[in-house]
Amino acid sequence: MPESTTDKMKTALVGSAGLLMRTEKSPDESLGELFHIVQLAKIFSDGKTFVDLVPKRRARAILKEYQLARQDPNFDLSEFVERHFYEFAPHKLQSLSLTDGRTARAHVSELWPQLKRRNRKNRGSLMALPREYMVPGGRFSEQFYWDTYFIMLGLAADNEWDMIENMMQNFTFMINKFGFIPTASRTYFTSRSQPPFFSHMVRLLAAHKGEKRVYFEYLPYLLAEYRFWMKGRRYLLRHDDSSAYYRAVKLNNGTIANRYFDNKVTPRPESLSEDMETANGFGDEDKNRVFLDLRAAAESGWDFSSRWFHEPNDIRTVYTTDIMPIDLNCLLYDLEQLIADIYKLMKQPILEKKFASLAKKRADAIQEYCWNEKKQYYYDYDFRAGKQTDSLHVAGVFALWSGIASAEQANAVAERLEKEFLRDGGLVTTTIQTGQQWDAPNGWAPLQWVAIQGLRRYGYDELAETIRSRWLESVELVFENKQKMIEKYSVTDTSRVGGGGEYPLQDGFGWTNGVYAALFDEKD
């Protein structure tokens, strides 16, 4: 439905005035002691519930009243929270009409209205965005970063290009406001980003609307994204004694690569209780390190996985910020390569050469530091220790998706995927089971997509089709039994229902919907 004149005016107002308005503080900062008491008391079973509630009054007034009220011997913390906060969830008032006997594919199309949101006013931690957007679902009721690319795949399959452009415009709004794309549109997510899939969103839209039109429009935002990830590069080049600064990493051959990071060293507000428990027993300095590494793992999207732990079964040994991840650096190679391609279209040979050279240097670094000739697979690199990590995980396939691997390397990766990761229900994320959600036995939609496309790029169509068909069957099996899409799947359990992690299994679910629809429609 076309936007009304009033809607257009509101959108324009948020898009302009919203850039000038100061971002509200994160709830842990604005509510101080009250926030910590509520989260540690576990009034809500999920720590994200409280950070997403909207205060009915200014935080300072609520906090002042709390400090007085708590002196009453009969003070009821739960009642106080209920009286002073409310849930903003207009979608729960909608009546969702679903067709009886619908297929899983029809369910995806019918579910988009339930996952659609519009919020043009700051409401507690939820930030105003100028345009409508899709959310993953379940506990995630905001526009997320890397989820959105995979949601867009499904929207494209359903010809929902207006929504794709809406979400792109929301991202450019956030880039203008913050200088980068935060994890999601919540104040407590503005200290970190997520895997940088923005270049792939731009390519997706360009394939529909035309390269020049889209590439020229989004080039300034791609450059801003690049500056965010490379902040710290100049510092490292000037300081021989430093190996990492912000998200930039200096390798021993002088190349600048990247790591996941966060700008804060406090417990995550949405998981405060869990993070404090993880850091319990550490001294203050070590606690800050643990909090930073937990936050950095959250920026990776793989929160959590043995991939980030020195000891696979002990989250307390988390060391994310010491790691040069294979997938992150492949995604930044994709970004550098896209910028070079755009400058080529613009007939800017000097700038084209600059970014093509940066992409080449990064690809060479990935080959030198992440490829293991003996094991014939790509691994993360621990730049502090000067060696590859021991964690075997499916993210090694990003080197195929990005086209960095040689033909021989692609063949070796394909063999490892088939031997180590392929299960009855699709690709497993890691080869060990730890209880963390980004480990075995779980498989995740985005990783199936990357693997399938990476294998196809090198001609391994038969293996790609095996993964595709097994993943579609997993999604369809759960849908047949439960009539819903879920966040993650067990690729080994006969039920195919995933588990593990800090929170219950979520329904919805954005990236499952998107990847399933895109893969399913290939049958046509």
- C-alpha distances (whole Å) from 414 to each of 221, 440, 454 are 35, 19, 10
Q: Which two tokens stand for residue 442?
A: 């779980």
Q: Which two tokens stand for residue 468?
A: 């595709």
DSSP secondary structure of 175-233: HHHHSS--SBSBGGGTT---S--HHHHHHHHHHHH-HHHHHHHHHHHHHHHHHHHHTTH
Residue whose pair of structure tokens reads 């790029």 in the numeric block:
457
User: Biggest alpha carbon distance in the chain?
Assistant: 74
Cα separation, 239 vs 414, in Å, equals: 40
324, 325, 329, 331: CA torsion to nearest 10: -160
Could you give the 3-state DSSP secondary structure of residue 118?
coil
Angle at 429 between CA 198 and CA 435, to 5 degrees: 115
Q: Which of 275, 341, 380, 487 is catalytic?
A: 487
List the beta bridge partners of residue 426.
423
Each residue of 209-246: b (16+ CB within 10 Å) or e?
A: eeeeebbeebbebbebbbebbbbbbeebeeeeeebbbb
| Whether residue 286 lies in the annotated active site | no
Q: Which two tokens stand for residue 369?
A: 């530091």
Please list, in sequence order, all residues whose beta carbon lies within 8 angstroms of the beta carbon of residue 162, skipping any fewer than 6 positions away: none
The residue among 307, 349, 329 whose CA lies nearest residue 247 is 329
Phi, psi dihedrals of residue 144, rounded to the nearest 5°: -90, 165
Q: Which of 132, 293, 303, 322 is catalytic?
A: 303
Asked if 399 contacts 333 with a C-beta cutoff of 8 angstroms, the reply is: no
Q: Which two tokens stand for residue 501?
A: 């992690």
Q: Which two tokens stand for residue 440?
A: 């075995």
- C-alpha distances (whole Å) from 307 to each of 62, 257, 378, 392 are 41, 19, 13, 8
Could you give the 3-state DSSP secondary structure of residue 380?
coil
| Whether residue 303 lies in the annotated active site | yes
Could you give the 3-state DSSP secondary structure of residue 366?
helix
CA atoms within 13 A on the CB side of 192: 27
Active site residues: 303, 487
